[in-house]
Structure 1
Amino acid sequence: MNYIQQAYKGENEPWKIVLTLILVSGLFVGNIIYFMFFGDGIDVIEEQKKLLEMIPSKNFWLAINLLPFVILLGLLFLLVKSLHKRSLLSLTTARPKVDWSRVAFSFLLIVITALVLFGISYYSDPSLVELQFNPLKFTILLIISLLMFPLQIGLEEYLFRGYLMQQVGILVKNKWFPLILTSVLFGLLHGANPEVAEIGSIIMVYYIGTGLLLGIMTLMDDGLELALGFHFGNNLLAATLVTAKWSALQTDAAFVYTAEEASTQISEIVLPVLIIYPILLFILAKKYKWTNWKDKLFGKVKAPPKENYKIIE
């Protein structure tokens, strides 16, 4: 059974799917709808500054922002286990057990790539960023990031590339539609971020492109392991390496962008999607010997024989 077919191991009555999506993603959907219809008069960055002035520290603000993800991930796992009668393994991978080496490799791949790109950018023009390293604040930030970001990215991966991709896949009986749908929805999820207000809609290319990359990883590798490692490495560095006044993650990172506006960083939005991401996919494809791309990404989803529905614990 491939990754999407893992959904057949559980109970998939429509009301259970709708209830799960409402309970787990209702907060995000409501937030998106609010900003779509009522967000024109709201200065997201200014509102964020006001909130930061009211709280003890940026690290506290980060922890508070990540807490809902922790709660919702636990809720998703509970609903999958109790409502859908499925194992969490079937939501994670088509393999007999989770391959943590894949998580580690993908994590290291994006971390090394990002650090190299940052080093090149810093060497080319050091004036773009300014060192603001504070040992105590950075240590607290690192601890919070290591504890909570795995749960934050876990919710996004298990909800989009996991639950939603699997459920939509067995509904429409193909793989390309859930891949595109979850990528677009993943991008829209980030539509209320301050970066969108500052940079403009061009940043949606990065968000949707990243969702597409993670979706391709999941389908080609028949599991979430690579997507989990990549997403964690990406968010960890986004919080600890460089921050900006217009960033969604206001943290005590080691560096801060000196530019008051984000327009100078547009090249950094398009470059990863068009050049870096294909290179990373090529590396992963070679390492894990991916083949049959057409069927993996565009093939049909068929119900497996009943004897294969048994959950592997």
Structure 2
Amino acid sequence: MSDQAIKNPVLRQGWLRVLVFCVSFCVLSILIAVPAVITVAGVSVDDLKAKPIATLSGLLTGNYLWLMVLLEFAIAMVSVGIFRLLIDRRSLGTLGWGLEAVPGEGVTGLFMGPALLGVTALLMMASGHLEWVDISFDPSSLFVSLGLMALIAFSEEMVFRGYILNNLLESFPNKWVALLISGVLFAGFHFTNPGIHTLAFANLFLAGLLLGVNYIYTRNLWFSFLFHLSWNFFQGPILGFRVSGLSLPTLLVAEPKGDLFITGGDFGLEGSILNTTVSVLALCVLALFFEKKYAARSQQLTA
């Protein structure tokens, strides 16, 4: 077999690889997660059949969050590993973990999360919808929460940007179409999260676009990974909000009050119209910045 034949993917169309991957990911999740939930959490098969979304949401808000996160991480690593190596026939390194992006855009992503959340929280406080009522400093809880957020960010970036968006970019000449599809899939993945509603789903879609806007230019995951990690950690364990409906030990004890349209309700800050506004503005700024930066770089290379 020639070298060229070895390098050709088993499925040539990127969109088809994504479709098969998503189906396989769901099947693998059912085969692994359901037996684990039944065994460890004591959830009955009847409950899963009758109320699958409510049952999974209950596990995420209860004492089994770590179980669900570890299962997500394991399934993501196995799925991406098998498909990248055996279906795409490429190395895992080609997903986008080159360290050259860490000092620049990686650091930018790290500070984007706290910056955007800080602006949103201040707007909520200024409008009278938020008050921080206490401080609860527990270093061990913060460290554990950081580990939890790192696992979530790493596994989701490997799946949605590293594998799905990477392959979609091969199928669609317009990179924005690929980004939009990946954003929809990212939002859909969180459909079982506790407290989700229509505005929260829209904000998750916008989050998927924000996390992927750098990747469509660089094919590097450090911006999205550090952005995702800092966003979740600063939002929950530091500022005291729910993280996509998940409740965690926090440093600041936040007390949202008033209109759920502003506070986000049980889903947390990510369900707020303020988050929508800040996310749209940030997406426009980042898109213009990266478009200008990489268009200029492309012109320099071709000059």
- TM-score, normalization by structure 2: 0.69
Matched, 1:130 2:169: no
In the TM superposition, what are the counterparts of 1:24-35 in structure 2 within 5 Å?
24-26=25-27
Q: Percent identity?
A: 17
Check conservation: 1:206, 1:270, Cα contact below 8 A: yes
Partner of 1:279: 285
In the TM superposition, what are the counterparts of 1:49-128 in structure 2 within 5 Å?
52=62, 55=63, 61-80=64-83, 82-83=85-86, 84-92=88-96, 97-101=99-103, 102-119=105-122, 121-122=124-125, 125=128, 128=130
Partner of 1:205: 202
Q: Give per-residue Cα distances to partners, 1:154-211, cap 9 Å, x unaligned.
A: 2212211221122233345553332221111111112222232xxx312222111111
C-alpha distance in 1, partners of 2:156/2:6? 22
Partner of 2:146: 146
Partner of 1:215: 212
Partner of 1:263: 261
How far did residue 79 of structure 1 move?
A: 1.5
User: Please, what is the CA RMSD of the aligned residues?
Assistant: 3.9
SS at match of 1:257: strand
Check conservation: 1:130, 1:256, Cα contact below 8 A: yes
Partner of 1:185: 185
Q: How many residues align?
A: 263
Check conservation: 2:54, 2:192, Cα contact below 8 A: no
Check conservation: 2:157, 2:221, Cα contact below 8 A: yes
Letter in 2 for 1:165: L
CA spacing shift, 1:259–1:62, aligned 2, 3 Å: farther
Check conservation: 1:160, 1:182, Cα contact below 8 A: yes
CA spacing shift, 1:9–1:68, aligned 2, 3 Å: farther
CA spacing shift, 1:154–1:247, aligned 2, 3 Å: closer
Q: Give per-residue Cα distances to partners, 1:99-129, cap 9 Å, x unaligned.
A: 222222211132234234434543563x623
C-alpha distance in 1, partners of 2:154/2:53? 33
CA spacing shift, 1:114–1:158, aligned 2, 3 Å: same
How far did residue 248 of structure 1 move?
A: 1.6
SS at match of 2:225: helix
Check conservation: 1:142, 1:240, Cα contact below 8 A: yes
CA spacing shift, 1:160–1:124, aligned 2, 3 Å: same
Check conservation: 1:187, 1:211, Cα contact below 8 A: yes
Larger relative CO (CA 8 A, sep 6+): 1 or 2? 1
Matched, 1:239 2:242: no
Check conservation: 1:128, 1:258, Cα contact below 8 A: yes
Check conservation: 1:104, 1:229, Cα contact below 8 A: yes
Check conservation: 1:165, 1:179, Cα contact below 8 A: yes
CA spacing shift, 1:9–1:169, aligned 2, 3 Å: farther
CA spacing shift, 1:169–1:220, aligned 2, 3 Å: closer
Check conservation: 1:106, 1:227, Cα contact below 8 A: yes
C-alpha distance in 2, partners of 1:186/1:24? 13
Check conservation: 1:73, 1:154, Cα contact below 8 A: no
- TM-score, normalization by structure 1: 0.67
Check conservation: 1:182, 1:211, Cα contact below 8 A: yes
Check conservation: 2:187, 2:205, Cα contact below 8 A: yes
Partner of 2:38: none
Partner of 1:225: 222
C-alpha distance in 1, partners of 2:136/2:65? 17
CA spacing shift, 1:180–1:87, aligned 2, 3 Å: same
C-alpha distance in 2, partners of 1:80/1:165? 14
SS at match of 2:295: coil
How far did residue 41 of structure 1 move?
A: 9.6
Check conservation: 2:145, 2:248, Cα contact below 8 A: no
Letter in 2 for 1:106: G
Letter in 2 for 1:68: L
SS at match of 1:193: coil
